[in-house]
Structure 1
Amino acid sequence: MLTVTGLGKPQHRIFHFLAKRLLIIGVAQGRAAQLGHKALFAAATDQVTRLGTAHQNGQLPQELAKFRSYWLIIVDEVSAPGSSG
């Protein structure tokens, strides 16, 4: 849990953490786009599942190759917005 002094209640600290997280993701992805590069936001848990499934199906090299097309990959320990994690 991120604790920021002066924010008061725990739910305010969580909101502050999420707002900063989303701001960082947005700025990073936006800057990559300005430079003409592709960026990917990848939740760590989602990617572990995805790569594990690819490995079991004998498709790991192909799945890893997809990451090479991105200039910037942001890996977060929190699930991506809109995902089920």
Structure 2
Amino acid sequence: MTVALMWEARAAEGRGAELLEWARAQARVLAAEPLRREILRAPQDRVLVLTWWDAPYDAELPELPEPAAELITRAVHRWRFESVEQG
């Protein structure tokens, strides 16, 4: 089974580039190597990190931590999905 973890945060005013670099660095040093990883950004200085794992849905998997409070405007959002179809 393939499991995808999503991690999304919104940077504090003017700190979007810093949050993006922080997320890149954290994604490179996960405790295990995912099948795939992708880092995206969006308006309002939002950063999204997706990682794909060959694991059961409820497996314990390494996730990005919370950034320092002054770097973000709210708590990080996290979601877990299982793959049902690939195109």
- Regarding TM over 0.5, the answer is no
Q: Could you say which structure has the greater relative contact order, defined with CA pairs below 8 angstroms and 6 or more residues apart?
A: 2
Tell me the TM-score normalized by structure 2.
0.30
Tell me the TM-score normalized by structure 1.
0.31
Q: Of Structure 1 and Structure 2, which has the larger fraction of its residues in strand?
A: 2
